[in-house]
Amino acid sequence: EAEVAQSPRYKITEKSQAVAFWCDPISGHATLYWYRQILGQGPELLVQFQDESVVDDSQLPKDRFSAERLKGVDSTLKIQPAELGDSAMYLCASSPTGTGTYNEQFFGPGTRLTVL
Amino acid sequence: SQKIEQNSEALNIQEGKTATLTCNYTNYSPAYLQWYRQDPGRGPVFLLLIRENEKEKRKERLKVTFDTTLKQSLFHITASQPADSATYLCALYGGSYKLIFGSGTRLLVRP
């Protein structure tokens, strides 16, 4: 069964360092999402891609976060510099259809980030 | 302000009983609502989607209701099993096709 892949699964870094997370969506899925989930809360959307284009990045802290999906397949989320408050689970999800639909999202296992 | 509220306290029930989880929302008019299951340290897994014109949706032991007048969805698991223990997340579309999640309710099923 096809799955969304993410790496690394765990990342420990010191504040002010740069970190990067990678996501490989299910093959053929046009829409890719990055979410942040703080312990005890639901996932919060950071950025949404339709193919290689950003559809929504209104909740992405653009002074330190960046995301790209250059060829419309896999994606990278970067934080530079990391802050203590960035400690969270970073989830990637994909969906087979485009923006404007209400289909289920398929989530990866997530990357647990700890900033010391 | 817009809010999605799920009971933050864990629901603790005996195996074989029906679990009922509540999702209330304010200042949204969602056309669709979804429920996801999340196990510790894992990503959410989609369970069910219900449309505003559907009163009820079923899938095996799962049942979801959607009352747009009360602004509430109920999620039921019948004949619950210890393997059903997890956090259950309610999610709705808050405009611009963006999925907004509640904070989830943890379900514990005792053997």
* B73 interface with A at CB cutoff 8 Å: no
Q: What is the mean pLDDT of residues B77-94?
A: 95
Q: Kindly state the average pLDDT of the residues A55-81.
A: 94
Which helix (H) or strand (E) covers residue A103, if one does? none
CATH code of the region B3-110: 2.60.40.10
Judge: A45–B93 Cβ closer than 8 Å, yes or no: no
> In this predicted model, which residue has the larger pLDDT, A101 or B25?
B25
Work out the pLDDT band at B16, boundaries 50, 70, 90. very high
- The answer, yes or no, to whether residue A99 has pLDDT greater than 80, is no
A38 pLDDT more than 60: yes
Of B34, B43, B49, the CB nearest to A109: B43
The conformational region for residue A70 under phi > 0 = left, psi -120 to 50 = alpha, else beta, is: alpha
Task: Report residue B96's pLDDT band, with 50, 70 and 90 as the boundaries.
Answer: low
Exposed/middle/buried for residue B40 (C-beta within 10 Å: 0-12, 13-18, 19+): exposed
Average per-residue pLDDT for chain A: 93
pLDDT category at A100 given cuts 50, 70, 90 is: low
Q: Where exactly are the structural domains of chain B? A: 3-110
- The domains located in chain A, with CATH, are 5-97 (2.60.40.10)
Q: What is the pLDDT of residue A12?
A: 98
Residue of B nearest to A39 (CA): B103
Which amino acid, A62? K
**Vertex B29: Cα angle to A90 and A94 (nearest 5):** 30
Determine the Cα–Cα distance for residues A95 and A31; give it in Å rounded to an integer: 5
- Using CB atoms and an 8 Å cut-off, which of residues 47-86 of chain A contact chain B? 48, 56
- Whether chain B has a CB inside 8 Å of the CB on A40: the answer is yes
The amino acid at residue B28 is Y
Q: Are B12 and B82 in contact (CB under 8 A)?
A: no
| CB atoms closer than 10 angstroms to residue A85 | 10
Taking residues A76-87, report their average pLDDT.
Answer: 97
Q: B32 touching A, CB under 8 A?
A: yes
